[in-house]
Structure 1
Amino acid sequence: MKLDVAMFEGHHVNRAAADRRCATLTTRRSVKKEYQAAWLVNAVRCVDLTTLAGDDTAGRVKRLCAKARQPIAPHIEAGLGLKPGALTVGAVCVYPTMVPHAVKALEGSNIPVASVATGFPAGLMPLHLRLEEIRWAVAQGAAEIDIVINRELALTGNWQGLHDEITAMRAACGDAHMKAILATGELETLNTVYAASMVAMQAGADFIKTSTGKESVNATLPVSLVMIRALRDYGALTGHPIGFKPAGGMKQAKEALAWQILMKEELGRDWLNPDLFRFGASSMLGDIERQLEHHVTGRYAASSRHALA
């Protein structure tokens, strides 16, 4: 849709209220025993298993994809009553040059390959090169593209410029889903986060995503709450559901529970499915597997007992 500043200008975020809401989110209720196990299994379904390191190799991506196909050990699957191979992650996320390796390793699995693009993580390449990187990744087989916005445009309030860039990126993605990374740790205020979320959705983003994982501050519950409220407002005004992806810094299973509780309370059950909700994480999967093994066996395993992503 065209840029409509009336959808976000004049909307001010009460930071104290947002902090208070998130501080009590997991203290007012909890899930235990088989219910907690069920929530953790659902979290596995929503993980974008990720490697975005400078020393990535074809071998590392192949191992990541093996973990994506078999995210928890077979004896834990059996203990939970899951069919062998029924549980997989939501997607595998890699750099563009690693896309062909991931596509080959995941052949026949129905697990999509996501690629970061547009000069990730800074996003400061010339626009025509950012668009070409998107097209190249899609041509290599990426079904999802995680783009990064130009933070300068958001910080200076150049909403038309930001809208135009994201619209061009959406067109370059073609049939691939586009996740817009806002890099919220660099946007300074929650008001800017809300506005940037709205602009990204107006420009055609299928998902909005908190962070690249490379900022000093990544996904936090208050920032996520503001983005989710933007999702809810946008959906109420347009009737079009948009997905959400927190990413960066999430390492423990209890964080997977917290974000799922936030999604269910703010948006409802539909946003607990991988078509509308993803976690950008890798190390968190290891802790989820340990917690599920404890549920099945009554014992915590050493981290070394679980295959690394």
Structure 2
Amino acid sequence: MSTPSRSISSLASVHTLPKAVAGGLDEIPRNPGMALDLGWLEDMRAVNRSALERRATTLTKRRSIKADNQAAWLLRAISLMDLTTLNSNDTADRVERLCAKAKHPLRADLIAGLGLGDTLIRPAAVCVYHPFVATAVRALEGTGIHIAAVSTSFPHGLAPLETRIAEIRASVADGADEIDVVIPRGLVFGARWQELYDEVRRFREACGDAHLKVILGTGDLATLRNVMLASMVSMMAGADFIKTSTGKESVNATLPVGLVMTRAIRSYAERTGFKIGFKPAGGISTAKSSLDWLILMKEELGRRWLEPDLFRFGASSLLTDIERQLEHHLTGRYSAAHRHAMA
């Protein structure tokens, strides 16, 4: 059955959210990093788990996004995705299909039904293993979609340092303009902050002009205090983004962890003036959960963090559920997942 069309005027709120400042977005200067400040780390050690969990529980219940507004926020969520395939059975063909989906994330009937016209809705990036960077670069040429490569012995980060740095350089040489690196979690457990700082600093140098996203592996870090301190060290070392998870841990992105990391970002911005991006990844597979994260960002960091230069979802199956929700918005019925194939 065809999707009924609705007038553009009735769906004005479905179009992408307005620019953050009049005349366009303010440009975000890259974080140059700073010297490791152990005194500041000591000041950030006090993390109140019960208060954070209480805040996370009430945060999303205080906001309700319905109807056309919900559709608009879901379209925004698509534009904030790093569409990802990080499987042991990845092939060049699979990556090419994912790139084709990135170029056309919504079916034509949904675009017509939502009254989007020529408004272009696309994910911010496609994220792949190093061997598929060149494939993604060819497939996405001219689209403006970024190519992100996971690096530094993903997902555990336990290869020799020079091997990890060489992997970053190889991905940049192949055309990746964003590098998602993973830290060795043992450095956090041992409070080896200088060593962690030095490693991330070298990752930043190896990235050159490519943006650096530092994956903390929060599900492995045991405490929210460790999450806070690892976030701060990574930003001091020059991270452009801090990211929750590899998606391979038993526990991935959670709202309490997100609160800790966004408050670390706020503290860093207040002291240095540099805005750091945030990327939750792993386990974010439903449209409802994407709205929860958007609410958290708006409440904790403000409107500017609802743009792809400061916020990303690490997502593999999220797009499918968002498409299903948008179809339900138009027709009142949920479609089968196979109608929204990913790759």
Matches within 5 A, 1:140-289: 140-289=174-323
Structure-1 residue corresponding to 2:73: 39
- Residues 253 and 291 in structure 1, CA contact (< 8 A), matched pair in contact too: yes
Structure-2 residue corresponding to 1:86: 120
Q: CA deviation at 1:298?
A: 2.0
Q: CA deviation at 1:7?
A: 2.1
Matched, 1:113 2:132: no
Amino acid at match of 1:151: R
Q: CA deviation at 1:6?
A: 2.0
Distance of 1:253 and 1:246 partners within structure 2:
14
| Number of aligned residues | 309
Structure-2 residue corresponding to 1:133: 167
What is the percentage of aligned positions where both structures have the same residue? 61
Q: CA deviation at 1:84?
A: 4.6
Structure-1 residue corresponding to 2:88: 54
Distance of 2:36 and 2:185 partners within structure 1:
18
After superposition, the C-alpha distances for 1:1-35 in whole angstroms (9 at most, x for unaligned) are 11012222143111000000001111112100000
Amino acid at match of 1:178: L
Distance of 2:329 and 2:108 partners within structure 1:
14
Distance of 2:209 and 2:323 partners within structure 1:
33
Distance of 2:144 and 2:119 partners within structure 1:
12
Structure-2 residue corresponding to 1:2: 35
Amino acid at match of 1:34: D
Amino acid at match of 1:230: A
State TM-score, norm by structure 2: 0.89
Q: CA deviation at 1:159?
A: 0.4
- Residues 63 and 295 in structure 2, CA contact (< 8 A), matched pair in contact too: no
- Residues 200 and 234 in structure 2, CA contact (< 8 A), matched pair in contact too: yes
Distance of 1:185 and 1:215 partners within structure 2:
6
The equivalent position to 1:25 in structure 2, one of 50, 56, 59, is: 59
Distance 1:166 1:211, change over 3 A: same
Amino acid at match of 1:45: S
- Residues 81 and 314 in structure 2, CA contact (< 8 A), matched pair in contact too: yes
SS of 1:167's equivalent in the other structure is helix
Q: Which consecutive residues of structure 1, in runs of 5 or more, have no partner in the other structure?
A: none
Distance of 1:306 and 1:231 partners within structure 2:
35
SS of 2:267's equivalent in the other structure is helix
Structure-1 residue corresponding to 2:49: 15
Structure-2 residue corresponding to 1:305: 339
- Residues 71 and 329 in structure 2, CA contact (< 8 A), matched pair in contact too: yes
After superposition, the C-alpha distances for 1:74-96 in whole angstroms (9 at most, x for unaligned) are 11111112135711101000000
Distance of 1:67 and 1:214 partners within structure 2:
23
SS of 2:206's equivalent in the other structure is helix
The equivalent position to 1:123 in structure 2, one of 157, 168, 187, is: 157
SS of 2:327's equivalent in the other structure is helix
After superposition, the C-alpha distances for 1:105-125 in whole angstroms (9 at most, x for unaligned) are 111111010000000000000
Distance of 2:76 and 2:43 partners within structure 1:
37
- Residues 78 and 84 in structure 1, CA contact (< 8 A), matched pair in contact too: no
Higher mean Cα deviation, 288-297 or 83-92? 83-92
After superposition, the C-alpha distances for 1:40-73 in whole angstroms (9 at most, x for unaligned) are 0000000000000111001000010011111111
State TM-score, norm by structure 1: 0.98
Structure 1 stretches of at least 4 aligned residues deviating more than 2 Å after TM superposition:
none
After superposition, the C-alpha distances for 1:241-276 in whole angstroms (9 at most, x for unaligned) are 000000001111000000000000000000000000
The equivalent position to 1:67 in structure 2, one of 86, 98, 101, is: 101
Amino acid at match of 1:5: L
Distance of 1:18 and 1:241 partners within structure 2:
22
